[in-house]
Amino acid sequence: MAIRVNLDVMMAKRKMSLTELSSKVGITMANLSILKTGKARAVRFDTLEAICRTLDCQPGDILEFTGDSVNIGNNDDSL
C-alpha cells in the first residue's frame, strides 16, 4: 500500500479506544475499523479533520507515504 494508516498508533498514544473515538468523531466503528486496518481506499477531508481534532494531531501523524506502488483502480469507498 502506498499510504500507510497509523490511526492505531495515534489512538494508543492518546489512550483512546475505537469505541471512544467513534463516539467523539461521529463515525461508525465499522468505518473507523476499515480506516484503521488500512482497507479504506479514500478518506474525506472532513473525516480526517474530525479525527485530527479529536486526537489532537496532524494528518501526517495518521497517514504515511511508504513509496510502495499499489493498483487502486476506480473504487469510490470514501469514508
Q: Are 78 and 44 in contact (CB under 8 A)?
A: yes
Q: Is residue 71 part of a domain?
A: no
Q: Which tens digit of pLDDT belongs to each residue from 18-65?
A: 999 999 999 999 999 999 999 999 999 999 999 999 999 999 999 999
The model's confidence at residue 2, banded by pLDDT at 50, 70 and 90, is confident
The boundaries of the domain holding residue 53 are: 3-65
What is d(CA 43, CA 36) in angstroms, rounded to the nearest whole number?
Answer: 11
Q: Is residue 49 part of a domain?
A: yes
Q: Which three cell numbers stand for residue 32?
A: 473507523
Q: Is residue 77 part of a domain?
A: no
pLDDT the model gives residue 77: 56
Looking up residue 16, the CATH number of its domain turns out to be 1.10.260.40
Q: Is residue 72 part of a domain?
A: no
Question: φ and ψ at 43, to 5 degrees?
Answer: -145, 135
- Please tell me the total count of domains within the chain: 1
Q: Are 57 and 10 in contact (CB under 8 A)?
A: yes
Q: Is residue 42 part of a domain?
A: yes
Q: Which three cell numbers stand for residue 62?
A: 495518521
The model's confidence at residue 79, banded by pLDDT at 50, 70 and 90, is low
